[in-house]
Amino acid sequence: MTRTPKQPLPPEQIEQVFQILAREMPGRGPGAMGPKGQPNPFRTCISCMLSAQSRDANTALATKALFRLARTPKTMLKLTDQQIATAIKPCGLYNVKAKNVRKFCRALLDDFDGVVPNNRPQLMQLPGIGRKCADIVLQFAFGIDTIAVDTHVHRVCNRTGIAIGNNAEKTAEALNEVAPQWTFAEGHFWLIQFGKRVCLSRSPQCDICPINEFCLKRAEDRRSKPA
Is residue 211 within the footprint of ligand SF4 (CB under 6 A)?
A: yes
Is residue 199 within the footprint of ligand SF4 (CB under 6 A)?
A: yes
- Give the C-alpha separation, 51 to 82, whole Å: 19
Is residue 215 within the footprint of ligand SF4 (CB under 6 A)?
A: yes
Q: Which of 22, 114, 218, 226 binds ligand SF4 (CB under 6 A)?
A: 218
- The contact mask relative to ligand SF4 for 151-190 (x = CB under 6 A, - = no) is --------xx------------------------------
- Give the C-alpha separation, 135 to 218, whole Å: 29
Is residue 205 within the footprint of ligand SF4 (CB under 6 A)?
A: yes
Query: Among 7-15, 49-57, 164-172, 212-220, which window interacts with ligand SF4 (CB under 6 A)?
Result: 212-220
For residue 15, the surrounding DSSP H or E stretch is helix 11-24
Task: Return residues touching ligand SF4 (CB under 6 A).
Answer: 159-160, 198-199, 204-206, 209, 211-212, 215, 217-218
